Amino acid sequence: MKHTTSVMSMKKSGKNRSHMVIPATLLLLLTPALSLGAPYDSMEAFRASAEYAAFVIDNLWILLAAAMVFIMHLGFATVESGFTQGKNSINVIYKNVFILCTGILTYGIIGFQLMYPGDFNGFLGLGGLGIGFDASDPVGMLTPAYGEQMTIYSDFIFQAMFAATAATIVSGCVTGRVKLSAFMIFGALLLAFCYPVTGSWVWGGGWLDNLGFYDFAGSTLVHGVGGAAGLACVIILGPRMGKFVNGKINTIPGHSVPLATVGVFLLWFGWFGFNGGSVLSANPAEVSYVFVTTAIAAAAGALAAMLTARVVLSKLDASMALNGILAGLVGITAGADVIAPFSAGIVGAIAGVIVVGAILMFDKLKIDDPVGAISVHGVCGIWGTLAVALFSPAATIGVQLLGIAAIFGTTFLFSLGVFGAIKAVMGVRVSEEYETRGLDLSEHGVGAYPNFAMIDSSFKSAKSEAT
Amino acid sequence: MKHTTSVMSMKKSGKNRSHMVIPATLLLLLTPALSLGAPYDSMEAFRASAEYAAFVIDNLWILLAAAMVFIMHLGFATVESGFTQGKNSINVIYKNVFILCTGILTYGIIGFQLMYPGDFNGFLGLGGLGIGFDASDPVGMLTPAYGEQMTIYSDFIFQAMFAATAATIVSGCVTGRVKLSAFMIFGALLLAFCYPVTGSWVWGGGWLDNLGFYDFAGSTLVHGVGGAAGLACVIILGPRMGKFVNGKINTIPGHSVPLATVGVFLLWFGWFGFNGGSVLSANPAEVSYVFVTTAIAAAAGALAAMLTARVVLSKLDASMALNGILAGLVGITAGADVIAPFSAGIVGAIAGVIVVGAILMFDKLKIDDPVGAISVHGVCGIWGTLAVALFSPAATIGVQLLGIAAIFGTTFLFSLGVFGAIKAVMGVRVSEEYETRGLDLSEHGVGAYPNFAMIDSSFKSAKSEAT
Amino acid sequence: MKHTTSVMSMKKSGKNRSHMVIPATLLLLLTPALSLGAPYDSMEAFRASAEYAAFVIDNLWILLAAAMVFIMHLGFATVESGFTQGKNSINVIYKNVFILCTGILTYGIIGFQLMYPGDFNGFLGLGGLGIGFDASDPVGMLTPAYGEQMTIYSDFIFQAMFAATAATIVSGCVTGRVKLSAFMIFGALLLAFCYPVTGSWVWGGGWLDNLGFYDFAGSTLVHGVGGAAGLACVIILGPRMGKFVNGKINTIPGHSVPLATVGVFLLWFGWFGFNGGSVLSANPAEVSYVFVTTAIAAAAGALAAMLTARVVLSKLDASMALNGILAGLVGITAGADVIAPFSAGIVGAIAGVIVVGAILMFDKLKIDDPVGAISVHGVCGIWGTLAVALFSPAATIGVQLLGIAAIFGTTFLFSLGVFGAIKAVMGVRVSEEYETRGLDLSEHGVGAYPNFAMIDSSFKSAKSEAT
């Protein structure tokens, strides 16, 4: 069984397992009689081996990590909803539910194969996925679907939960004025094509991986992609009404800090699965190390953002503290497995400073990012990717810069092109009347809080604060 | 040790392990010197065996799955609270806390044994459970409590978390006008007797299991039971005031869509444990397969419900999207281990269409189900149970129909009888004054949101929308 | 390797592993060529052994338990926020974010070593921790960092998540009138010194452990410490304005019962990791046993508190039901591994009665504890620690009383001294104007719910109810 060699000698960098799971699986699906991704004569022999227990544990951890990444989508939904106005709450949620569900299905139909293409011989999607195309014998199809560490189903569900993340980040950037249908089309296209293609360059064993670009769990590949796409969309879309008036920058506060807090904590919780699961096994040293760097970076990010906001804005700013947590998490994501815990604290703290600066900078640049997602995911994603080279020997600055430029550039141009085309064809922005009234009533016909007396926030907020 | 044979040769269908864990345990409890549910001479020998690691992993997964099913109860509390009026929020929560806690204790005292009765020789409850009746030597009692895949304690806690689900579903159906004490009595009786008895017919190795009825994780046994009981209670209880007025159907919107969203996402998260844990081991192929079918069905359910609501109601309806997720989840629950991933998408999508239609249908029938629970859990539970026969070879339509009829029929009649009797004795409905004022103030003496200015929703909502 | 003996023959009591993980690790860090905390010649030999799979599983469970304890911090944030007034919501969240993040970092810098001091030869903190001080070779540093059951990183992250808990409990007690900076200083000092020192007396193998004091997962060491510190702070701080007026006790209701509910359920969920992880392995019998006792105590606590509130207060009181859950959880924490399931129900039920009585008692004593944290964590922590002696043979009443006195006394005096000193230097209480206006606007410059019309709760609540 010639693929055995590649399984054993595979290079381990980030989520790159194109030489591990997929080829074996595909082979096995085509020749179900041979079976097994390891040198065992039968499932019985594999089950009786010492390796089997390790396989079961690794697989269980990937599944649990997938469930934890899933809960990040609730985190995104609540943090984006909490940080936007109450008149747009339902709209945010509707968008995020759509993106999550579309992301899972799209990834099954096309994205999974696009991202890990190495050994698929068939056409795109239909045929080569191993997902969902042998209804006549699902169990028979499963039996041989073993890589060394997880089944193809575990692999798929973990990756699919990741995939939806990028587009969900965009959802936060465009909130409050995007036309829902335009966003839905854009998000689906981003998920189906852009994210898996740039992902394949690194995790699929592509050219950036060959050059030595290092992005453990996706500071650039996931968060950076979301930030770059969000930036392109916001530039095309323009700011919300009342955000920038006569040279003044108005703060439009989110409608529920507790709701946003729920979101940030759930994101942190899920990030233990996002980063920890990216080890792609339950290896005790590696997973526990990643948990520690992840937690330390988040904690340092929050404290640094609190301090920065105190100094720069003279405020004890809870929103900045929450964004500081996320900044630290995004910052450590690229190097969570190679940056030392103490250094992880430095990386996180710098991310916490950066995020406050970036939010202020985008305001100055009149780029309206209601929830700060471009700063958190885009700018801190860049920082985190560079930090790998600064705080570990896993990569050099040159190749990290190249990778950032390639992936941000591609995503940004793709997004400009696609969102621009959508604008030309059908428009991307709701009417002023819709925006003033709020997207919940305008697009969905109901308010999010029908039993509560609401303040007309669109009017009120526009004059609440000036810089 | 004669029970060894049955352990090894047990038939695996759904949660049926009556011939596996319980008899061994009971025997072992009675003869603590013999011990062990597998052919090992001592715990030391078992610990040194290759099977031991698998046992530890399987057991850990069941415990984690139990914790995930536990979190579904927070999901139910928040989705039911979010989808009802703000004046009834505390009441919903109080009911759900009561049911969860009563469910756990009742299941320990009587339900567990009723549901898996095969080899208990003692009287009901006290004595045969293995739960809680040997305070003098808890550790000694534990040692032999091993099945092949989990301890009796893991088995119990996983099942107990399931048990409370059925009654919690009823809580959503009757919300807004039920007398709290009446519901509490009904819920406790449903949990103590009805749910475990119908459950024993399938998972306890009873007659429906022998006939070949297939319900992997409980589309009928859990969700269907909740829906059938809810329907009976709603028929006896009647609609909320203002719901159906002069032939018009009024929409009474829930008070917090974000709160309901938190609930639905937590339910989806927990469902990975609900379905994945029902594999009753950490078998990589089976658990990962179940994760994939569960996620695909949920995603397809949401998108189908979104589209259906857009076409039928001309609305981008977030509540329907959320109910579509739940519909897909309920729909796949009966066959999550045997329906192919692609087919799971079809099953979920059909469930998403069905749930919108069912909600509209019950409105036309003047059956007032405030949170749509009869549609989600009852109707989609039926659909999911039939889907096993349509999309897999695991069962035939005939026996699935028979099982649905038997379990829905029994639960419906039990509920009609018991809730009817409670009505006759003490009444089941609060006064008009209480209902108008809201159950939070009337029954609990406080409002859920005392710092917020509320709109008189009972008045307002009654004219908000007409069909 | 002389430490092998101590590894194998270690006494297992609560979290006492000072003779297990730390010394091995330190030795190994100093002599990276020797390595391994078990008698294996190389990592390869360890990996090939039957013990390796058990190690991987145990380690994974501890990491998952750490993530679950992490989510308790979201539970604390939401329950404390929900149970306080809407004008102080951001302040509560800011405090909790600060404490969690400071707790993780402080524990890494100093707390971990203070708490498990036995075999550290170096100075405090820097040098001996094994956390974060070998950036040049993180992977090499990891390899030998194995105890029998987990890596030092897993050990650290699990313990660090615990550490922040105590100070977060205090946050609830002082809410609504504490000066933020004063609390931040106090909380950091409590975490850095007091908690790890008293912790070392038991879990670090100190004098109380040697005397036979038993506190499995921290009824006294974690919850009691939080309650004792909170009591000292509240005495120094005094009650909120309007709480006690002219001899009357006014109820100041929390602003969101659903938010508090989210918190309590998340705490219960996390408690499965808090107690279950304290087994310090995935031992099936022990972990499943702990899950069952934990769930039964929580359920019994809720039902007993509901009943007690109904009888004593003539109310169906949802807040008391929620506090009853927490009371049951705190009550079983000290003996979750040694108290039988049936007895766990009794322990939980008594805790549920106690918590209602304690809340009323502190009101009578004019000790203003807005969220009931002193009653839940302090009083029920004492009860739970005593219950170990009453319901199991693991300890005697004498030594339990001694331990309670020592740890409560030390913490109370430390807190009186430190918080008193802070009061003398900079003051601990905000101005009356700040308090009336609410800390969100006064300290943070924004409201938590800017789109909602709020009632002036400070005025309104002060006359809402009198005893």
Query: pLDDT value at position A41?
Result: 66
Map residue A369 onto helix, strand or coil: coil
Dihedral pair phi/psi, residue B452, rounded to 5°: -105, 145
Between CA B309 and CA C161 the distance in angstroms is 45
Tell me the pLDDT tens digit for each residue of B70-101.
Answer: 999 999 999 999 999 999 999 999 999 999 99
The whole-number average pLDDT for the span C235-248 is 95
* Predicted confidence band of residue B40 (pLDDT cuts 50, 70, 90): low
Most confident of B124-128, B147-151, B211-215, C20-24: B211-215
Mean pLDDT is lowest, of A374-383, B300-309, C153-162, C360-369, for: C153-162
Whether the CB of C459 is below 8 Å from some CB of chain B: the reply is no
Q: Shortest Cα distance from C380 to chain A (angstroms)?
A: 27
Residue C118 contacts B, CB cutoff 8 Å: no
- The candidate with the shortest Cα–Cα distance to C351, out of C365, C368, C338, C336, is C336
pLDDT grade, residue B21 (50/70/90)?
very low
What distance lies between CA C351 and its chain's CA centroid? 17
- How many whole angstroms separate alpha carbon C16 and alpha carbon C206? 9
State the best of B137, B451, B452 to mutate against chain C, taking most chain C CBs within 10 Å.
Answer: B451
- What chain C holds in terms of domains, given with CATH numbers, is 43-426 (1.10.3430.10), 432-466 (no CATH)
C147 confidence band (pLDDT: 50, 70, 90): low
Residue C92, pLDDT above cutoff 90: yes
State the DSSP H helix or E strand holding residue B50, giving kind and residue range, or none if neither. Answer: helix B50-82
Q: Which of A349-353, A452-456, B43-47 has the lowest mean pLDDT?
A: B43-47
Question: Is B219 in contact with B334 (CB distance < 8 Å)?
Answer: yes
Share of chain B above pLDDT 90, in %: 70
Q: What is the 3-state secondary structure (H, E, C) of chain C?
A: CCHHHHHHHCCCCCCCCCCCHHHHHHHHHHCCCCCCCCCCCCHHHHHHCHHHHHHHHHHHHHHHHHHHHHHHHHHHHHHHHHCCCHHHHHHHHHHHHHHHHHHHHHHHHHHHHHHCCCCCCCCCCCCCCCCCCCCCCHHHHHCCCECCCCEHHHHHHHHHHHHHHHHHHHHHHCCCCECHHHHHHHHHHHHHHHHHHHHHHHCCCCHHHHHCCCCCCCHHHHHHHHHHHHHHHHHHHCCCCCCEECCEECCCCCCCHHHHHHHHHHHHHHHHHHHHHCCCCCCHHHHHHHHHHHHHHHHHHHHHHHHHHHHHCCCCCHHHHHHHHHHHHHHHHCCCCCCCHHHHHHHHHHHHHHHHHHHHHHHHCCCCCCCCHHHHHHHHHHHHHHHHHHHCCCCCHHHHHHHHHHHHHHHHHHHHHHHHHHHHHHCCECCHHHHHHCHHHHHHCCCCCCCECECCHHHHHCCCCCC
What kind and span of H or E run contains A248? strand A248-249
A94 contacts in B (CB within 8 Å)?
Answer: 316, 318, 321
**In sequence order, which residues have a C-beta less than 8 Å from that of residue A322 and are 6 or more positions away?**
A79, A260, A261, A264, A302, C97
Q: How confident is the model at residue B342 (pLDDT cuts 50, 70, 90)?
A: confident
Give, to the nearest 10 degrees, the angle between helix A257-276 and helix C89-106. 30
Q: Which of A43, A87, A101 to mutate to test the interface with B (most CBs of B within 10 A)?
A: A101
Q: Name which of A53, A66, A77 is nearest B261 (Cβ-Cβ).
A: A77
ipTM: 0.90
> Which residues 150-179 on chain C approach chain A with CB closer than 8 angstroms?
150-154, 156-157, 160
Q: Search chain C and give the residue with CA nearest B455.
A: C453
pTM of the model: 0.91
Assess whether pLDDT exceeds 80 at residue C45: no
- C292 contacts in chain B (CB < 8 Å): 131, 153, 156-157
Looking only at the bridges linking them, the beta strands covering A244-245 and B248-249 are unpaired
Q: Looking at the predicted structure, is the pLDDT value of residue C136 above 50?
A: no
**Least-confidence region, from A243-252, B119-128, C36-45:** B119-128
Q: What integer pLDDT is reported at residue C125 of this predicted model?
A: 39
What does the DSSP assignment read for B186-233? HHHHIIIIIHHHHHHHHTTS-HHHHHT---SS-IIIIIIHHHHHHHHH
Q: Which residue of C has its CA nearest to B95?
A: C318
Helix or strand or coil: residue A45?
Answer: helix
- C292, C316, C453 ranked by CB distance to B453: nearest: C453
Determine the average pLDDT of the residues in C6-27.
35
Chain B residue with CA closest to C344: the answer is B132
Q: Quick one: average pLDDT of C45-50?
A: 74
The average pLDDT across B252-265 equals 96
Arithmetic mean of pLDDT, C413-442: 96
Helix (H, G, I), strand (E, B) or coil at B388: helix
Mutation choice for B interface testing from C52, C288, C459 by most B CBs within 10 A: C288
pLDDT tens, residue by residue, A362-421: 999 999 999 999 999 999 999 999 999 999 999 999 999 999 999 999 999 999 999 999
From B256-260, C132-136, C194-198, the region with the lowest mean pLDDT: C132-136
CA nearest to A248, candidates A464, A432, A87, A83? A464
Chains contacting A (3+ CB pairs below 8 angstroms)? B, C
Strands B244-245 and B248-249: antiparallel
Q: Of A110-119, B308-317, C241-250, C347-356, which gets the smallest average pLDDT?
A: A110-119
Instruction: Tell me how far apart the alpha carbons of residues B189 and B196 are, in angstroms, rounded to a whole number.
Output: 11
Calculate the average pLDDT of chain B: 84
How many whole angstroms separate alpha carbon B330 and alpha carbon B336?
10
What 3-state DSSP class applies to A245? Answer: strand
Q: Is the pLDDT of residue A30 over 70?
A: no
Q: What contacts 24+ positions apart, CB below 8 Å, involve C305-312? A: C305/C352, C305/C353, C305/C355, C305/C356, C306/B97, C306/B98, C306/C352, C307/C352, C308/C352, C308/C353, C308/C356, C308/C357, C309/C356, C312/C356, C312/C357, C312/C360
A132 pLDDT more than 50:
no
- The tokens of C129 are what? 């921790």
Q: What is the pLDDT of residue C112?
A: 82
Give residue C40's pLDDT band: very low, low, confident or very high (50, 70, 90): low
Q: Closest Cα of chain A to C92: distance in Å? A: 10
Q: Does A253 touch chain C (CB under 8 A)?
A: yes
Cβ–Cβ < 8 Å for C169, C267:
no
CB A18 within 8 A of CB A118: yes
Are B50 and A48 inside 8 Å of each other by CB?
A: yes
A439-448, B28-37, B440-449: least confident range: B28-37
Mean pLDDT, chain C, rounded, equals 84
Which residues from B are below 8 Å from A73, CB to CB?
265
Res C457: pLDDT: 52
DSSP string, B90-136: HHHHHHHHHHHHHHHHHIIIIIHHHHS-TT--SSSSTTTS-SS--TT
Q: Quick check: B43 pLDDT over 90?
A: no
The CA-based diameter of chain A, rounded to the nearest angstrom, is: 75
Mean pLDDT within B410-428? 98
**What is the pLDDT, as a whole number, of residue A143?**
39
Q: What is the Cα–Cα distance from A201 to A218, expressed in whole angstroms?
A: 12
Contact A352, A328 (CB under 8 A): yes
Q: Of B149, B122, B141, B147, which Cα lies nearest the Cα of B31?
A: B141
Q: What is the mean pLDDT of residues B253-269?
A: 97
Return phi, psi of residue B244, to 5°.
-120, 110
Q: What would the pLDDT profile of C385-425 be if each residue is shown by its tens digit?
A: 999 999 999 999 999 999 999 999 999 999 999 999 999 99
Q: Compute the mean pLDDT over every residue in chain A, rounded to the nearest whole number.
A: 84
In the predicted structure, residue C460 carries a pLDDT above the cut 70: no
End-to-end CA, chain C: 67
Residue A77 to residue B321, Cβ atoms within 8 A = no
- B48-71 confidence digits (pLDDT tens): 777 788 889 999 999 999 999 999
| Highest-pLDDT range among A281-295, C242-256, C296-310 | C296-310
Lowest mean pLDDT among A80-94, B17-31, B231-245: B17-31
The whole-number pLDDT of residue C467 equals 34
User: For residue B320, what is the DSSP state?
Assistant: H
Q: Which residue in the block uniquely carries the two structure tokens 């008293």? A: C198
Segment A129-144 shows an average pLDDT of 41
Closest-CA distance of chain B to residue C42, Å: 21
CA distance B373 to B378: 7
Contact between C339 and C388 under an 8 Å Cβ cutoff? The reply is yes
Tokens, residue B426: 């003490």
Band (pLDDT 50/70/90 cuts) for residue B39 is: low
Contact C64/A at CB under 8 A? yes
Residues 6+ apart with CB under 8 A from A254: A82, A83, A84, A85, A260, A319, A370, A371, C450
The answer to which of B393-397, B424-428, C22-26, C417-421 has the lowest mean pLDDT is: C22-26
Say whether B84 sits in a helix, a strand or coil. coil
Mean pLDDT of B126-145: 40
